[in-house]
Amino acid sequence: MKTLKKIILGIGIVIVLFLLVALFLPSQYHVERSIVINQPVHKVYPNVADLNNWIAWNPWTQMEPTAKSSVKGTGNEVGSVWSWEGKNIGVGSLTIKNIEPNKGIRSRLVFVEPQQFESDDIWQFEQVDEGTKVKWIMEGELNYPVNRYFGLFMDGMLGPDFEKGLANLKQISEQS
């Protein structure tokens, strides 16, 4: 009986520690990467502003080229939606919420599978001497308690994909 009490007490302590630590973890995350593309803004911007162009440079569609993908709307205006469904990349959508031509785009990213998750997808474009500085940002809320632990790994999980996508975008933009 004493052993059972110790096991239950140990499990209780682990649960309390798990919940307590989560209270002090960030409730939001922010992942950001940037690249300079040797082209003017007006040549780079359309490759991101039109969801129909994402398939050419997006790192996740390259991971699973056979995934189902569709764009509703024109692809380059507020309300346009890019949806996907695949075994590896899951099920989700990206909806354009705000556009500032040649300056920025804000979209809502919704993952349905393998895990439900929402975040903001933000693009910023700035003309610099070398061409165009492009920033790709993803940020969102982290639910208590489990997602706050995932927040510790978001930059490490998404950052390399952002870098690959930006390198692809650079290659495509500089070819035009």
Per-residue confidence (pLDDT) for residue 132, from 0 to 100: 98
- Amino acid residing at 95: T
The answer to whether 120 touches 108, Cβ cutoff 8 Å, is yes
Per-residue confidence (pLDDT) for residue 133, from 0 to 100: 98
Task: List the structure tokens of 106.
Answer: 């804000």
Burial class (CB in 10 A: 0-12, 13-18, 19+), 84: buried
- Output the tens digit of pLDDT for each of the chain's 176 residues: 788 888 888 898 888 888 888 899 999 999 999 999 999 999 999 999 999 999 899 999 888 999 999 999 999 999 999 999 999 999 999 999 999 999 999 999 999 988 888 999 999 999 999 999 999 999 999 999 988 998 899 999 999 999 999 999 999 999 96
The answer to whether 48 touches 123, Cβ cutoff 8 Å, is yes
How many Å apart are CA 76 and CA 116, to the nearest integer?
26
What stretches of the chain adopt beta strand conformation (E)?
A: 28-37, 68-72, 81-86, 90-100, 104-113, 117-128, 131-141
For 79, 100, 111, the CA distances from 89, given in Å and listed in that order, are 23, 29, 10
Per-residue confidence (pLDDT) for residue 19, from 0 to 100: 85
Among 46, 2, 22, CA closest to 150: 22
